[in-house]
Structure 1
Amino acid sequence: MFIKCFLLLSAINFLSAGRVPQPEERIIGGEDIEIEEAPWQVSIHRRGNHICGGSIYSKDIIITAAHCRFTREGKQLGAEEFQVRAGTSWSNSYGTLIQVAAIKSHDKFSKKTYANDIAVMRLSKPLVFSSKVQSIRLAEKNPSPETPAKTSGWGAVRVTDYHGIPLPESPEHLKGVELLVQNCQNYLFTTEDNVCVESDGKSNCNGDSGGPLVVDQQLVGVASFTLGQLCDGFVAFAGVPAFRNWILNAIESL
């Protein structure tokens, strides 16, 4: 879905649910976790269905990926199209469902390369914090290579190749996995603004877009893209330290 040429288009895949084909399943190689283990995690809905993940920055601000507000055809969607479900381990039930009031994505986001893949949402009413609903701090510096990092989401847990068509199998219960931070220079199509992770048999996948990458209880990345069709390689996150100033300024402007 993105890149500068046809080969790039066929190689890169977004992590959003409902985009086909998509290489990233849910959390591959992960385990069920309860929302208390990642109380900043939210599910972003459109038309009653989970499409992306996000992270709670404050009682009314959610951080997610810019590409989550675009359709497969490249149409940019407004805030009225989205709701956020918080405080639950289940993507489509329980917790609190709140309408999004405003959304701002990076003005230099590229639908071809997924550069600057970051966005913020303002909710129509504030969340009530509890053991299941908590904010997360923004990291100020990138983690070093080989640092363990945690990610979570409701993306696919496996992808089956059906006559050349990848079919993701997505769970309803929140999953989490620990991955190792890697040097993004080792991977194609990444930029200095990315944080990259890879661990054998573990990955993000379709439906995990916008979700958190966490080190030391700080948000270091927002799930953006991977390569291939079966979610079995590295994952590139929009690096929060690189976009920290943009995030803070965008919040002020909403």
Structure 2
Amino acid sequence: MKFSLLLLLTIVSAVLCTSQGPDTRIVGGYPATIYNYPFVVSIVYTNPETGEQTPRCVGSIISSWHVLTTAHCFSDPNVENYKLRVGSTSSIEGGTLFDIYYIIIHPDYVESPRTADAAIVVLTQHVTISESVRVIYIPPQETYIPDGYTVRAIGWGAEEEDGALLDTLKVFDTRTIPLQQCIEAFADDDNINVYDQVICTQAAGRSMCRGDSGAPIIIGEVLVGIASYSSSCDDSTPDTFTRIDRHTGWILQEAVPPYGRSAASPVRVAPVVSWSATRTIIIIGEVLVGIASYSSSCDDSTPDAFTRIDRHTGWILQEAVPPYSRSAASPSNWIITNMAFKVLCALALLSAASAAPGSRLTGGSPLPVEEFPSVVAITYYYPRPQITVQRCVGSLVSSIHVMTAASCFDGADLDNMRVRAGSAQPLSGGTDVGVTHFIAHPDFEEYPRTADIAVLFLEQFLPITSTVNILYLPPPGYDVPDGISLRVASWGFESLDGGPLNDLKTALLPKIPLAQCQQAFADSEEASITPSVVCTFAPGQGICHGDVGAPAVISNVLVGIASYYENCDGTHPDVWTRVDSYTTWIMQVTAGASRMLTV
């Protein structure tokens, strides 16, 4: 059977090296194309004496400026002797050749015994993202990877010890082995330091070889290791890989664009914290999305079919009840309605906004609610003159809890407030539900606006469908790098003197440095620009009236809640409550709620 992790998904990265370069190759794999693994690059070495160019190692694109590979690839420290071939299935032709600006060797790197074998290559110009050029995720720090787990290796290395390097990309699947087993296998080998910062793999008839130094091993779309050492080109001994999650902090610290440049595609930390230990299910993070149903063969000649769980969620919730007179210690509803509180960094889309306390979306584009099923319109009925308007925006974080801004409730009568979910129109369609109460953060202040966050409680559970879904909460300390684009959505005004939108609209707003935001609001007494906020700025785009509470997301992770704007012309930054600063409080509030299911 084959296995793929959806949404952190697909295949990736590659390998390569020259017959004169470091050790490692792909043995026993099968051909692939760069379109299958568009983040893999060939590191080409030019012999300074002969001028001959040969593939030397493999690397993985981790941002539009950076490639991750092994430190031992650069035994010749002269960067002018190296080039990177990007976007080609071949290691010797095609694609685009890039020059190296400089190389960052891991500070703990030791050649022998090989330790902390990692290096970041900084390019002289950024790569252009295309079908054959992509950025791969790196794992969160201290990611758990089970023993016996299947990983995929990619490279151009030799097929045998004295053989020629491959011209065409090749991949194979192998399995992780216990660290102790690897330590014992290399007990008499002084060339490698086998410790908790390496991953070891071994599989019958498959291994790395000469030319595969730096080659990636991946799980789904996540880079978990880079080829560091192999004592042979067969399966008699394990292959060792530098374990990426042990160096995520170092990578994020060092992999920043060259001075004065910006990153079109910055380093991306995968929104996943666990892997499935079985190959008969598909998961996203800790969420079951498919179960194996049918395969017409036991090879890769035909696809595998999985039953799609989200299409049957309603039936599961209806039928998965305890036997008569029994109670459920862990009911199905907990997983469906509260999966957001697992605090995974995961994937999906966004949320929207609307018309009242202050904010709108300027310069965005329309979208269907299916693309942002977590967004809800918070509506308000005014007895005089008997009209209902979209007041704020919220995000579902469970099927009964909505995250929004505390400033949304200023002067509001909850009896006149409702929530509309599952519709691209704020005042029609979808499901309209009442609210029971809200809990604002205890530190909330209107002036200057501080801790502008609240949890709104619904009168009834909302069933999860294609138009109604939930966002994940970020873990505390979930830092979003400056320059990364946050996706937002709302129904707010197009201009100060305009009116609210009737259709959901979305925009991408880049995060800016906190210091830049503080400078922009230096003379303002309206907002408190502290580390507990996130600021975005894009000329001609931003929030306005009706966007208060609108979500800012990365994939399916809620990182910001629209709080404050200076005007509606896109000339000043927008201020968002930073959700990870309040994750612990949110979990405490929701777990203690009377409408919450318990485990």
CA distance in 2, matches of 1:120, 1:169: 27
Q: Contact 1:152 / 1:211 at 8 angstroms: preserved in 2?
A: yes
Counterpart of 2:225 in structure 1: which amino acid?
A: G
User: d(CA) in 1 for partners of 2:102 and 2:129?
Assistant: 21
- How many residue pairs match? The answer is 226
Map 1:146-185; keep pairs closer than 5 Å.
146-159=148-161, 167-185=162-180
List gaps (5 residues or longer) in structure 1.
1-14, 71-75, 160-166
Conserved? CA contact 2:17–2:211, under 8 Å? yes
Equivalents in 2 of 1:91, 1:133: separation in Å?
14
Paired amino acid for 1:49: T
SS of the aligned residue for 1:158 comes to: coil
Per the alignment, in what secondary structure is the counterpart of residue 241 of structure 1? helix
Distance 2:40 2:63 in 1: 12
| Equivalent-residue separation in structure 1 for 2:235 and 2:160 (angstroms) | 8
Instruction: Tell me the percent identity.
Output: 27
Determine if contact 2:18/2:54 at 8 Å carries over to the other structure.
no
SS at match of 1:247: helix
Which residue number corresponds to residue 145 of structure 2?
143
Question: Structure 2 vs 1, CA of residues 232 and 222 (structure 1 numbering), >3 Å: closer, same or farther?
Answer: same
Residue type at the aligned position of 1:217: E
Whether 1:124 and 2:129 are equivalent positions in the alignment is: no
Q: After TM superposition, list the pairs within 5 Å mapping 1:37-76 onto structure 2.
A: 37-47=36-46, 48-70=53-75, 76=76
Partners of 1:230 and 1:221 in 2: CA distance? 19
Partner SS for 1:43: strand
User: What residue identity is the alignment partner of 2:176?
Assistant: V
Cα distance in 2, alignment partners of residues 77 and 87 from structure 1: 25
Determine the C-alpha separation between the residues in 2 that align with 1:93 and 1:158.
22
Name the structure 2 match of 1:6.
none
Q: Which residue matches 2:32?
A: 33
Could you tell me whether the CA contact under 8 Å between 1:203 and 1:232 is conserved in 2? no
Q: Deviations over 1:180-206 (max 9, x none)?
A: 111122122411100111101001111
**Structure-to-structure mapping, 1:184-223, within 5 angstroms:** 184-187=179-182, 188=186, 189-223=193-227
- Alignment partner of 1:149: what SS? strand
Contact 2:22 2:73 in 1 (8 A): no
| Residue 107 (str. 1) matches residue 104 (str. 2) | no
CA contact 1:201–1:232 (8 Å) conserved in 2: no
- The answer to whether the 8 Å contact 2:27/2:233 transfers is no
Closer, same or farther in 2 for the Cα pair 1:168/1:230, shift >3 Å? farther
- Relative distance call for 1:232 and 1:253 in structure 2 (3 A) is farther
In structure 2, relative to structure 1, the CA distance for the partners of 1:136 and 1:205 (3 Å cut) is same
Tell me the SS of whatever aligns to 1:36. Answer: coil
- Give RMSD over aligned pairs: 1.9
User: 1:50 offset after TM fit, Å?
Assistant: 0.6
Q: 1:251 to 1:21 in 2, by over 3 A?
A: closer
Distance in 1 between residues matched to 2:243 and 2:168, nearest whole Å: 26
Could you tell me how far apart the structure 2 residues matched to 1:80 and 1:148 are? 38
In structure 1, what residue type is equivalent to 2:19?
G
Q: Which of the two has higher C-alpha Rg? A: 2
- Deviation of the 1:210 alpha carbon: 0.7
CA distance in 1, matches of 2:20, 2:114: 15
Shift of 1:99: 0.5
Q: Please state how far the C-alpha of 1:79 moved relative to its aligned partner.
A: 2.3
Q: Take 1:54 and 1:17, find their aligned partners in 2: how far apart are those partners? A: 13
Give TM-score, length-normalised by structure 2: 0.36
Larger RCO, structures 1/2 (Cα 8 Å, 6+ apart): 1
- Paired residue type of 2:163: P
CA contact (8 A) 2:39 2:135 kept: yes
The 1:92/1:27 distance shift into structure 2, 3 A limit, reads same
Which string of whole-angstrom CA distances, capped at 9 and with x for unpartnered residues, describes residues 191-224 of structure 1? 1100111101001111111111101210000110
- 1:195 & 1:36 partners in 2: Cα distance? 26
User: Greater share of strand residues, 1 or 2?
Assistant: 1
Contact 2:156–2:168 (CA under 8 A) maintained in structure 1: yes
Specify the alignment match of 1:4 in structure 2.
none
SS in 1 for 2:247: helix
Offset of residue 77 of structure 1: 0.8
Report the secondary structure of 1:150's partner residue. strand
Cα distance in 2 for partners of 1:112, 1:253 equals 31
SS of 2:208 mapped into structure 1: coil
CA separation in 2, counterparts of 1:224 and 1:56? Answer: 17
Higher mean displacement: 227-236 or 130-139: 227-236
Alpha carbons 2:206, 2:234 under 8 Å: kept: no
